[in-house]
Structure 1
Amino acid sequence: MRLLLIGGTWFLGRVLAESALQRGWSVTCFNRGKTGRDVPGVRSIRGDRFDPASLDALAAQGGWDAVIDTSVYEPPEAASMAQALRSVAARYALVSTVSAYRHWPEQPCEEASPLWPSRPDARESDPDVQALPRPFRYGTLKSGCEQAVLDVFGDDTLIVRPGVILGPHEYVGRLQALLRRAKRGGQILAAGSPDQPIQPVDVRDLAAFLLDQLATGRTGTYNITAPSGHATYGDLLTGCVTAVGADAELVWVDAQWLLDQGVKEWTQLPLWRTPQGTWRVDSRKAQQAGLRCRPLTETIIDTWRALQAEPLVDHERQREHGLPAEQERELLQAWQAASGASVC
């Protein structure tokens, strides 16, 4: 199998490159060479997806049985890449997102749920996109990227819509923030209920699914999340405490009370989110096609080990995640006063 990866140096791209090489595939990576790290054994082609000359030069070095694009953000770049590669790549796999669904996270979703209205030429700077709240712009643009690729590759398109992706070398910093907070020990503010179901997928399981589909020639669209009942928010936080070997106590604080205090979901308390559809993404189609999800505890332990072995690639979003220690103490003390809970 001859595989072209757009990127191939960070997180999912890196795991895809490593996993494809382990399968004996020929792997080419197209990137600028400015961030991340090349995986030993890949063929690297330097270029910029925003530069038409780079795309022409890339196409001249084809062909490939499949291309995987993990990072495109705006539809015109998805369209230009797809058009440049159509004659030299048999299939195109696009990594999209559940944010492309119009009503996520407020409502549950499945593959047939409506997407954000978009178009293949949409830009974030366009007035109609700018008029949307910032989180909705992302989904709108990703929906447009899907349209752009489908317009070119048609039935030869594989689209995956992951929810939260965790695992070693995740650069957004959600799980890393939880692990580092657990390492500090003491009383840890835990939001909502420990029984809240969650559906993060391990990056290695997502990569395996993608490569399996390409190996068998399967196309179509798939939600990629852990199955319903796979894990809970309590499993996540307890797993972090266990992985780092900390002397820590989880103090569970009412969700509405935290919202009333202005605590930011998803960032200040990573992976805590209250809209009912957040963790109700139907991924049965992918499971029937072979998606297998490892235990969440394995993902947590392996991520902690990776943090000890290799510095994390810096990314601006890492600074969004986690509560400052003083704010956490103040919230715990206020919760004790409000509820009579025992907080030291």
Structure 2
Amino acid sequence: MRLLVLGGTEFVGRAVVEDALVRGWDTTVFHRGTRPAPEGATVLHGDRLAEGGLAALEAGEWDAVVDTWSAAPRAVAAAANLLAGRAGHYAYVSSCSVYAYPSPAGSDEDWPVVEGDPDADATEYANDKRGGELAAERVFGARALSVRAGLILGPYENIGRLPWWLNRIARGGPVLAPGPRDLPLQYVDARDLAAWTLDAVAEGLGGPYNLVSPAGHTTMEGLLDACAAATGSDAEFRWTDPGTVADAGIRPWTDLPVWLPPGEMHESLHGAGVARAVAHGLRCRPVGETVADTWEWLLSVGGEAPRRPDRPRVGLDPEVEARVLAAG
């Protein structure tokens, strides 16, 4: 396979490139050049939003393209238009955020989606992702694959969700653990997403697929216990009910990454139906493996994960945590 990855140096894109290279695929990475691409890939440079920024892609043919873009949909449209006739398949890494909110637990790819404009500049994340899907579909039709990812964790994470929990638990002592303990979580390891996506383009799949683990792949307790095991921490989890967390002004998902209290938002973000992807080979590794590998990577980069500048910082203020723990 001749693969072109638009991106390919960070998180999901990097996982796709590394997997493709292990498969022996002829892999080309197109990116701005601000970070090194995985060794073994052919490298092309350009800025997708700059005038003439796609010049390096004006020649060449590929069996498949994987595009991880998450801003202005017009960048996807420009790339798809340029590659029309020279690429066999176009996989766009989208998001379950494209679904109209709220989506009930178990809802699948047929649930209504938000509006999107394939020629638009950046607006809102969900609309941008939908616009990217439409841009790829407009050019590639049935040869366009929309990989609607849910929460993504694993090595190279550049949002900071799992890295924050790992660093907090590694420090030990009492840790505010948001309950309930058995709260089901749904996420996908970036490497499992990459493997499924490459299998899918090789198979020629098209259309939308929710790409996230089955709901309840682990629980909040399972995730935090895995963090303690990976770090060798003596942390003492103080399980705290959602009402107490809310009363303290602590924001789910942002102050306490990954976690959402039971209810409408939890169902929407931790309850997507994934039968279609599972039927086409989705396999998700155990939470302990994802957590341990992320900790190993985090240590290799000095304990502080690189963060995307377009995303807010995550994690709970230590003073707020201490105040809630003391009150309990």
2:243 aligns with 256
1:200 aligns with 187
TM-score (norm 1): 0.89
1:144 aligns with 131
1:308 aligns with 299
Is 1:57 the equivalent of 2:56? yes
2:17 aligns with 17
Q: 1:84-103 alignment to 2 at 5 Å?
A: 84-103=82-101
Contact kept? 1:98, 1:104, Cα under 8 Å: no
Q: CA separation in 2, counterparts of 1:202 and 1:216? A: 21
Structure 1 range deviating more: 308-317 or 63-72: 308-317
Is 1:164 the equivalent of 2:151? yes
Q: CA separation in 2, counterparts of 1:146 and 1:189? A: 39
2:320 aligns with 327
Aligned pair in 2 of structure 1 residues 105, 255: CA closer, same or farther (>3 Å)? farther
Q: CA separation in 2, counterparts of 1:240 and 1:322? A: 15
Whichever residue aligns with residue 53 of structure 2, its letter is S
Q: 1:264-275 alignment to 2 at 5 Å?
A: 264-274=251-261, 275=265
Q: Secondary structure at the match of 1:223?
A: strand
Q: CA separation in 2, counterparts of 1:183 and 1:235? A: 16
The alpha carbon displacement at 1:106 in A equals: 6.8
2:44 aligns with 45
Whichever residue aligns with residue 295 of structure 1, its letter is P
Q: CA separation in 1, counterparts of 2:312 and 2:204? A: 40
TM-score (norm 2): 0.94
2:277 aligns with 286
Q: CA separation in 2, counterparts of 1:281 and 1:210? A: 18
Aligned pair in 2 of structure 1 residues 14, 54: CA closer, same or farther (>3 Å)? same
The alpha carbon displacement at 1:242 in A equals: 1.3
For residues 106-137 of structure 1, give each alpha carbon's deviation from its aligned partner in whole angstroms, at most 9, with x where no partner exists: 7653101111122223334xxxx5xxxxxxx2
Q: CA separation in 2, counterparts of 1:318 and 1:181? A: 20
Whichever residue aligns with residue 121 of structure 1, its letter is D
Q: Percent identity?
A: 42
1:242 aligns with 229
The alpha carbon displacement at 1:250 in A equals: 0.8
Q: CA separation in 1, counterparts of 2:102 and 2:76? A: 23
The alpha carbon displacement at 1:309 in A equals: 1.9
Structure 1 runs of 4+ with >6 Å offset: none
Is 1:5 the equivalent of 2:5? yes
The alpha carbon displacement at 1:318 in A equals: 7.7
Q: 1:76-155 alignment to 2 at 5 Å?
A: 76-104=74-102, 109-124=107-122, 137-155=124-142
Contact kept? 2:145, 2:208, Cα under 8 Å: yes
Bigger Rg over Cα:
1
CA RMSD, 1 decimal: 1.6
Unaligned runs of 5+ in 1: 130-136, 337-344
For residues 201-238 of structure 1, give each alpha carbon's deviation from its aligned partner in whole angstroms, at most 9, with x where no partner exists: 11110000001111122222110111133211110111
Aligned pair in 2 of structure 1 residues 79, 315: CA closer, same or farther (>3 Å)? closer
Aligned pair in 2 of structure 1 residues 95, 319: CA closer, same or farther (>3 Å)? closer
Is 1:277 the equivalent of 2:277? no
Q: CA separation in 2, counterparts of 1:14 and 1:118? A: 27
Unaligned runs of 5+ in 2: none
Contact kept? 2:69, 2:76, Cα under 8 Å: no
The alpha carbon displacement at 1:244 in A equals: 0.5
Whichever residue aligns with residue 140 of structure 2, its letter is F
